[in-house]
Structure 1
């Protein structure tokens, strides 16, 4: 028996891939250790049989094995994913590559076939897909509840307080002296409360994100809220496409919380927001030029800070990540990434 070459030894002893050869008619002529491990047949049991024995009966009846060889002959190779059958009849999800093998004269000598068992990967992908659908439902439910609360506050509480304010104004015109001043101060308090409630309804359900998209929604929010506090802003983006709705809402809410922290705590003059498509997701940076953090380089500068916790949890629930960093006197950065693969709406 001739000594095996190094290449033959390598192919024969690979266990993570089923690597074997077919003759021009599709009969199996070689069988490596990986093929035995993945498919269950020993070389003595399978060599000489037609490779259609590795396919589910329905695929054999539909002529799939023959068609795959025809495509490999015509195009040089074929790649496919689908169900294949082990010796014991159980199925596994496989990635298959069939390569037509020709000699120096271009004559077909047979086929090389490489198979990977992707059953575990497919199970993970299906679990992630289900998680994505649940996330879409969760985001939709949260936004609907926010919208309901915003409407209730706007249509009931705010309108009632506006009516109270009008009555107080009318009452103030009928009073004099200290009584008029007291009623006027009370009316000012009501006006201030109405303003805070209107800001709350805007935060709960900002107009525009549903109909105009993520960038326009962020732009409107920056115009109406951030600029109103005396901050200048810059928004840049390099998005390959509009993210799915649940992704857009997640990004908007994290940016909203980051910008709220800048307004309330950073003592900043300017803020920049940058969005970019990256790795089948959206990468976002929110930078400010404020006072930064007391402890330089600290990833969680304020343990227990609910705003930071909320940003991180939102990103992680969506399958992404969020980091916060900053140096004293050098501003702060909220950086996060979330996947932007649509997995079905609510």
Structure 2
């Protein structure tokens, strides 16, 4: 079979939509762009050509020097291949299969690199839904939520009720004492009431979203963000599996707690959307930014949020310049695990 004419080959590559296929110059700048690259990564050719390809990598990979390392390896070995997270134009991440091939001319001079990327996010989520680690994760989430419900029930039905009884007795006692002694009893009663309020807040935070993810988040915003303007919007295809809903709820809960305690914000917005077989979430505030909040409270729950997302097979990110607010963004898969062992959120 005769080789395809060069123009026909170019048209073939340009029209492929399932793979991002493009060229880099020897320094890693993008010099060509096909329809698949636009569909997968979100940039048009006019927007991206001439830009360094490191724009597709998460900030932690850029900081670690991963993009130039990959080019160096491809140049020395002829090829680089891996699977990992990549970043779209809108900031969301996708799990990609990436192949970088060094291109040499007939004299052996490096002319650039060919790069082929495929979006494997949904396939990866399906595989994790079936693997042993995914099943163990489902059981772990189930056990954690069961224990949270037990603690919340014990706090509400036992500890709080006992303290309410103590408060009632203190008030009755105060009515029979002289004023100088009654003042001390009233002070004790105030301390008991304050403790009861804190315990009720604890019991509320321990409860999972029993009425569905969006309804649970709405209830949490209404109760916990009092005095602050807030917005909740979603574009979900339906109620996600319980494991995914609980994971999203807990990460959002931690993010909102940090906004309330540390951001110095006047408003917060939360947006949820179905994306790549999972749930994509952005929590934005107009507060002090990441640097100020880190200095106030160390990791302020960052580790817990990141670990929850990554353990579920997703990703998590935080960004925000000082004085310009903070955005917490994450994605977790929403593929049902084992049908015979559901996780009840109620």
Q: TM-score range by the shorter chain?
A: 0.5 to 0.7
TM score, norm. by length of structure 2 = 0.60
Q: CA deviation at 1:128?
A: 5.2
Change (3 A) 1:6 1:291: closer
Structure 2, unaligned runs of 5 or more: 5-122, 342-346
Q: Does 1:269 align with 2:266?
A: yes
Structure 2 matches for 1:73-92, cutoff 5 A?
Answer: none
Superposition pairs for residues 27-42 of structure 1, below 5 Å?
none
Contact 2:129 2:335 in 1 (8 A): no
Gapped regions of structure 1 (runs ≥ 5)? 8-120
Partner SS for 2:331 = strand
Q: What residue number does 1:134 align with?
A: 136
SS of residue paired to 2:291: coil
Larger CA deviation: 234-243 vs 247-256: 234-243
Task: Tell me if 1:236 matches 2:230.
Answer: no
Partner SS for 2:323: coil
Relative distance call for 1:293 and 1:135 in structure 2 (3 A) is: same
2:239 is the alignment partner of 1:245: no
**CA distance in 1 between partners of 2:285 and 2:297 (Å):** 20
Structure 1 residue aligned with 2:282, among 274, 280, 285?
Answer: 285
Deviation at 1:329, TM superposition (A): 1.2
1:189 to 191, 194, 202: 191
Match of 1:311 among 292, 305, 308: 305
| Distance of 2:306 and 2:295 partners within structure 1 | 13
Contact 1:129 1:343 in 2 (8 A): no
| Number of the residue aligned with 1:167 | 169
CA RMSD of aligned residues (A): 2.4
Task: Choose 132-141 or 258-267, whichever is displaced more.
Answer: 132-141
Aligned to 1:220: 219
- In structure 2, the CA distance between the partners of 1:291 and 1:144, relative to structure 1 (3 Å rule), is same
User: Greater Rg, structure 1 or structure 2?
Assistant: 1
Aligned with 1:153 (options 152, 155, 161)? 155
161 and 132 in structure 1: CA distance in 2 versus 1, 3 angstrom threshold: same
Shift of 1:330: 1.1
Alignment match, 2:72? none
In structure 2, what is the Cα distance between the partners aligned to 1:127 and 1:272? Answer: 30
**Residue-by-residue CA offset, 1:75-128 (whole Å, 9 max, x unaligned):** xxxxxxxxxxxxxxxxxxxxxxxxxxxxxxxxxxxxxxxxxxxxxx99x93785
Mapped to 1, the partners of 2:153 and 2:142 lie a distance apart of 16
| Contact persistence 2:258–2:300 (CA under 8 A) | no
Q: Structure 2: how far apart are the matches of 1:317 and 1:145?
A: 19
> Could you say if the C-alpha distance between residues 161 and 127 of structure 1 is closer, same or farther in structure 2, counting changes exceeding 3 Å?
closer
Count of residues paired in the alignment: 221
Q: Distance in 2 between matches of 1:323 and 1:293?
A: 11
Separation in 2 of the partners of 1:225 and 1:126? 34
Q: CA deviation at 1:178?
A: 2.2
User: Among residues 318, 323, 336, which one is paired with 2:330 in the alignment?
Assistant: 336
> TM-score, normalising length from structure 1?
0.60
Aligned match of 1:143: 145
Change in Cα spacing, 1:127 to 1:274, as seen in structure 2 (3 Å) is closer
